[in-house]
Every structure is written in C-alpha cells, then in structure tokens.
A = this chain, B = another copy of it.
Amino acid sequence: MTPKDNIRFGVIGAGRIGKLHAQNLTTRISGVEVATIADVDLKAAQTLAENLHVPLAVEDYHTILLDPGIDAVAICSSTDTHAKIICEAAQARKHIFCEKPIALDLGHIDSALQAVQNAGVKLQIGFNRRFDPNFRKVHSLVEEGKIGTPHILRITSRDPAPPPISYIKVSGGMFLDMTIHDFDMARYLIGSEVEEVCTAAGVMVDPAIGEAYDVDTAVITLRFTNGAIGTIDNSRKAVYGYDQRIEVFGSNGMIQANNNTPDQDIYFNAEGVHSAKPLYFFLERYLEAYIAEMAEFVQSIHEDTDPPVIGLDGRMAVVIGMAAKKSYLEHRPIRLSEITTPIFQPESYTE
C-alpha cells in the first residue's frame, strides 16, 4: 500500500455503532473506503451497504479476513466476540479498530493483545471520549503544565436513562460497560496509572438493576501513582440528559470541561432564566469524537505510527473496572495489584 492509496476497510457488525463507523468511514473521513460490511444478520449488512454504496455485504466476517484487498477491520460486533475476532484479524494481518471492552476477563484480553503483538498489526480501542474537543483540550492543558501538578480530578458521568436489564446482565455491569470510559479518561487526563480504587455505590434508580446484581449509582475514588486523587460519580439516569463533565485541579490552576448543548439560547421570563439541557446521549455528544477517533486510526495506518489508544489502554480500563467492582463487594479500598496477575507480558514491559 502506498501512502496515496485509500485504506480499504471491512466493517464487522452493522448494529448501531457499526452503522455509525461505516457512515463516518464512507462520508466523513478521507483516504479510506469501505469494501465489505459483515453481519450475522445479512439483511442488516445489505441495507447498510446499499445506503452507503459499499460494494459487498456478507454474513460471515471471515470473508473480510480472507480478502487480501482489505487492510483494516472495524470490530463492532457484540462484546463476547471481540477478543476472538481480534485474534483472527491479527493472524490475517489486518489492522484493527475494536470497540470497547476487548473482553470481560483478562485471559481473553491478554490472548488478543498477544496475537496483535505477534502479528505486528495496529490495534486501536474505541475510547471515543478522548477525541471529544472539550476533553482533548483539558488533556492538552494538563500536559502543557497549565494547571501545574494535578492534585484532584473530578469526573461526572451520568447517562440519561438506564439500558435494558437484558443488557446489564451481559455487559459486565455498570463499572465495565459505563464507568470503563471514565477510567480510561482518568488515566488519559492524569497521565499516570491508577493504583487503588474505592467504591461507594447503590441501587437508587431501579430495583430491577439490583435484582440483576448490578448498581446504578456510584462514587469511585481513585489514587494515582503520581499522588493525584480522582473521583468519578455515575448515575444511570439523569433526567436532564447526558451529563459529561470533567475538572482537573492542580497547583497552578483548574480546567473544567462542561456539557455541550443543542443551542446557545437563553430565555428570560417572569419565572426565571432558562437554557437548553445537555445533548441527549452519546451519539449526539460524541458525534465529532467518533469521526476524529476513526480519522486518527486511519492516519496511524497511513503514517505507520502508533494508534492514539492502544490495546493496553483497553486492558487497564477493564482492570480498574474489576477493582471498582471488588471494592464495592468487599467494602474496602482495592489496590490494582490485587487483581489477578496478567498473563500477557507486552514487549515494552519485558524488555
């Protein structure tokens, strides 16, 4: 592949997030084309392919892996298939963009990361929030030292409505399907690893969530290796919409990221002063971030550089999620070192 050539993608999974990535790849990102869309529901793959003028739709994603003309895959299938497809795609020498989480257990994660390392392909995990303009600017200012040494991190992350109970039963629970994004954000912003986690959580939104052995409201305290302290607060249900705010406080200042709203209007009447709620949910709020993450993945292939979010990032967020869950169950602070020793030894660690 010469730098001027388009990178040819196969998209695996034509559900909500697969549609989103396929659409972005075909209409919003240059230097790339989508060659094939695969879905176990062939009809879904065909409809999407037709709408986006993608030449081929298939039921079995192995067609994509076997196609020598395809350079990269976007894995947008169900979570339980991620690790397996990563392994297979790596063996087929495809670069890989995979939605989070890689898997819900470390064994599968580590196998996948090992396969990627062995094959020497690129792997980017779909932590889209890192590409949000608000949070990216927070990251830049922290990195440039504009707030001095970070002391306190506050993440507010609340969904507008809980997912179906059926989803909660297979997702790994709130810490692994929802807070996982906040754990990644915490590492990204502070630039240091989490050492210890302490969770206070409960069922306040819907008792059915408790019956599914999950929680719906939590405050999680993080201790970082560099001494900083973080706190994340989560709720499955904010009636005013998707609440995604962050604040990093340091020795020389503070930087806050606030919510995006659909408009900048303010209405004054005899009752008060009124403005718009935050954008409803992640598809609205992270519209730009989804485009930017894929564009940077494509760029990392074109320029043969490391992708901006790597496999270890995907692994660390799961480890922190496991620690948060354990802290909740055992009602005490949990050090990350208490989570089972990794099977996987990345090269950069063993050298």
Contacts of A233 in B (CB 8 A): 152, 154, 229, 231, 249
Give the docked Cα–Cα distance between A221 and B223 (Å): 13
Q: Is the CB of B269 within 8 A of A133?
A: no
**Residues in A138-152 with C-beta less than 8 Å from chain B:** 138, 141, 146-149, 151-152
Assembly CA distance A113 to B158 (angstroms): 43
Report which of B198, B270, B333 forms a contact with A239, defined as CB distance below 8 A. B270
Residue A5 lies at the interface, judged by CB distance under 8 Å to chain B: no
Q: Which residue of B lies closest to A203 (CB)?
A: B227
Q: Which B residues lie within 8 Å of A274 (CB)?
A: 272-274
> 30 A-B contacts, Cβ less than 8 Å apart?
A27-B28, A134-B263, A134-B264, A134-B265, A146-B267, A149-B204, A198-B221, A204-B227, A204-B251, A205-B251, A217-B229, A219-B229, A219-B230, A221-B221, A231-B233, A239-B253, A239-B270, A240-B268, A253-B268, A253-B269, A254-B267, A255-B268, A256-B267, A258-B264, A258-B266, A272-B274, A272-B277, A275-B275, A331-B333, A332-B332
- In the docked arrangement, what's the CA distance between A272 and B331, Å? 37
Which B residues lie within 8 Å of A255 (CB)?
265-268
With contacts A204-B149, A233-B231, A274-B274 taken as known, whether A239 is within 8 angstroms of B252 at the C-beta atoms is yes
Q: Find out whether the CB atom of B256 lies under 8 angstroms from the CB atom of A235.
A: no
CB pair A264 B259 closer than 8 Å: yes
Interface pairs A-B: 10 shortest CB-CB: A253-B269, A240-B268, A27-B27, A258-B264, A254-B268, A239-B270, A256-B266, A133-B263, A273-B275, A219-B229
Footprint of B on A, CB under 8 Å?
27-28, 133-134, 137-138, 141, 146-149, 151-152, 154, 156, 158, 198, 200-202, 204-205, 217-219, 221, 223, 227, 229-231, 233, 235, 237-240, 243, 249, 251-260, 262-270, 272-277, 331-333
In the assembled complex, the CB of A303 is this many whole angstroms from the nearest CB of chain B, namely 21
Say yes or no: A253 contacts B265, CB within 8 Å: no
- A156 CA / B153 CA spacing, docked (Å): 11
Contacts of A273 in B (CB 8 A): 240, 274-277
> Assuming the A-B contacts A27-B28, A219-B152, A275-B272, are A141 and B198 also in contact, with contact meaning beta carbons closer than 8 angstroms in the complex?
no
What separation, in Å, do the CA atoms of A306 and B1 have in the docked complex? 50
Minimum C-beta distance from A29 to chain B (A): 10
A151:B331 contact, CB within 8 angstroms: no
Q: Which residues of B contact A227 (CB under 8 A)?
A: 202, 204
- Distance of A144 from chain B, by nearest CB (Å): 11
